């Protein structure tokens, strides 16, 4: 017997691992997963490319880990709100606002998590992420239906609609221009949230029509 890892070494190893993950995360935040190249990660983390492979078996493994860490944070916030004890409608509003609000503000990262073209391996990770979102929405909707706050709808489908509408309207080609968003993110968020709330049948204030009397549809 001639070698046994000492605590100091273990700590250093953990540090290096961390710095690799951080480097990768930074690259994602800057340019999406497409910008993650092993040589770049290594450079940024201050290690050699070969070293990366002492900590992660492949690029895929590294990216998966990054995706998990980043998305776990987001899901955690939503889950916490969802498990609160306010009325379903209220929790719904809060969850939607949080989701949309964080997405507008961390747009590049949100893009990477939700909309960026990824290859299949990471797409799996994203699928899990989005399913979790949908589950959170669905859970709240169920509560609302159970106690009569919301009309009877298919919660899975409604949840999927919400999970699709929000990112689409906020990031990617259908989103308002960045400068528009930056100038007044909250108004956009509010409009989207309203759409989703109306979609699931939450009655809300302020449905003015252009002409004061409403014509009937044919």
Distance CA 96, CA 199 (A): 13
Between CA 216 and CA 205 the distance in angstroms is: 21
CB of 68 to DNA, least distance (A): 17
Q: Which region, left, alpha or beta, applies to residue 46 given φ > 0 means left and ψ of -120 to 50 means alpha?
A: left
From the list a second copy, DNA, none, pick the one residue 36 interacts with, judged by a Cβ distance below 5 to 8 Å according to partner type.
Answer: DNA
Provide, rounded to whole angstroms, the least separation between the CB of residue 212 and DNA. 59
Compute the C-alpha angle 181/97/136, nearest 5°.
Answer: 130
- The CB-side HSE value for 181 (13 A sphere, CA atoms) comes to 19
Residue 50 or residue 206: which is nearer to DNA going by CB?
50
| Binding partner of 155, given DNA, a second copy, none, CB within 5-8 angstroms per partner class | none
d(CA 196, CA 142): 15
Whichever of 17 and 108 has its CB closer to a second copy, that residue is: 108
Residue 133: partners with Cβ closer than 8 Å, 6 or more residues away: 75, 78, 99, 159, 163
Q: What is the DSSP string of 8-44?
A: HHHHHHHHHHHHHHHHHHHHHHHH-GGG--HHHHHHH
The entry of a second copy, DNA, none that residue 157 binds, CB within 5 to 8 Å by partner kind: a second copy
Is 6 one of the binding residues for a second copy (CB under 8 A)?
no
Give the Cα separation of 14 and 8 in Å (integer): 10
Chain contacts with DNA (rule: CB under 7 A): 1-6, 8-9, 12-13, 16, 36-39, 46-51, 53-55, 58-60
Q: Which of 127, 182, 183, 184 binds a second copy (CB under 8 A)?
A: 127
Among a second copy, DNA, none, residue 6 binds (CB under 5-8 Å by kind): DNA
Instruction: Lay out the site mask for a second copy across 163-202 (x = CB under 8 A, - = otherwise).
Output: xxxxxxx--xxxxx-----------x--xx-xxx-xxxxx
Smallest gap from residue 106 Cβ to DNA (A): 24
Q: 3-state class of 87 per DSSP? A: coil
- Chain contacts with a second copy (rule: CB under 8 A): 86-87, 89-90, 117-120, 123, 126-127, 130-131, 134, 145-154, 156-169, 172-176, 188, 191-192, 194-196, 198-203, 207-211, 213-215, 217-218
């Amino acid at each position: 017997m001639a070698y046994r890892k000492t605590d100091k070494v273990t700590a250093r190893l953990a540090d290096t691992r961390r710095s690799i993950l951080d480097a990768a995360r930074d690259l994602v935040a800057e340019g999406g997963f497409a910008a993650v190249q092993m040589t770049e990660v290594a450079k940024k983390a201050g290690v050699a490319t070969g070293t990366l492979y002492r900590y992660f078996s492949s690029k895929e493994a590294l990216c998966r880990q990054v995706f998990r860490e980043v998305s776990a944070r987001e899901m955690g916030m939503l889950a916490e709100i969802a498990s609160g004890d306010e009325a379903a409608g209220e929790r719904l509003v809060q969850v939607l606002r949080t989701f949309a609000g964080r997405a507008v503000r961390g747009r590049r990262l949100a893009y990477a998590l939700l909309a960026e073209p990824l290859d299949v391996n990471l797409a799996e990770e994203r699928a899990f992420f989005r399913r979790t979102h949908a589950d959170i929405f669905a859970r709240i909707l169920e509560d609302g239906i159970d106690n009569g706050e919301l009309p009877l709808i298919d919660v899975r489908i409604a949840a999927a609609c919400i999970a699709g509408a929000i990112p689409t309207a906020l990031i990617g080609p259908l989103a308002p221009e960045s400068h528009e968003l930056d100038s007044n993110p909250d108004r956009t968020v509010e409009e989207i949230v309203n759409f989703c709330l109306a979609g699931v049948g939450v009655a809300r204030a302020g449905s003015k029509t252009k002409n004061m009397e409403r014509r009937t549809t044919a």
